[in-house]
Amino acid sequence: MLVYVHVVLWALVLLQVIVSSLRLVPSSLVARPYLWEYPYLLSVAPALLTISAMRRRSTYRMVLAMAMTSLVSLGPLVYGSVEMFPMARQLYTQGKVYRHILGFSAVSVLYFAMVIAVQVHGWQLYYCKQLLEVWSSAPTQEAPGGQRKSQ
């Protein structure tokens, strides 16, 4: 389920980038994307890799998906929180708003989304690790030809 929630978050960021880039709505409704949002769009790759790893019960793919999640999902979120901090500080100390998303401060909306995304990715990593532990402790049986095969 967490992978699907991640895909929904990713789709919302993609929608903001597309709507803003094509100028489909006024900039007062949808803000220009921050720099961290572009590399975050790569985060769909580890989500798809996680789905593939679960279907095939592939420990290699799961480990790769976990590493990619840390790099292209959590990395841009950490960078984004640092990138947006000066604007957030001005918003809460002076009331200055530079960008909007549907009439709300873009910094507030994106920090809220970031909090949810960090939780989703953190739980994803936790449950992926749990799956790896279960897969590694599963009994194996010998396949025809003398090769070991996991159940």
Full-model pTM? 0.80
Sequence-ordered list of residues with C-beta below 8 angstroms from that of 126, at least 6 positions apart, any chain:
none
**More confident: 91 or 144:** 91
Mean pLDDT of 84-93: 90
Q: pLDDT digits over 130-150, tens only?
A: 999 999 887 755 445 545 555
Percent of the chain past pLDDT 90, that is, above it, reads 57
Whether residue 20 has pLDDT greater than 60:
yes
Q: What percent of the chain has pLDDT over 70?
A: 91
Could you tell me where the DSSP H helices lie in 22-74? 37-40, 44-56, 59-68
94-120 pLDDT per residue, tens: 888 878 787 888 889 889 999 999 999
**pLDDT at residue 95 in the model:** 85
**Residue 142: φ, ψ to 5°:** -85, 130
Q: What is the pLDDT of residue 105?
A: 87
Domain boundaries, the chain: 2-131
As given in the structure block, the two tokens for residue 37 are 């949002």
Mean pLDDT of the chain: 87
Mean pLDDT across 68-90:
93
The length of the chain in residues reads: 151
Determine the pLDDT at residue 142. 47
Contact predicate 128/50, CB 8 Å: yes
* Two structure tokens written together for 84: 């947006």
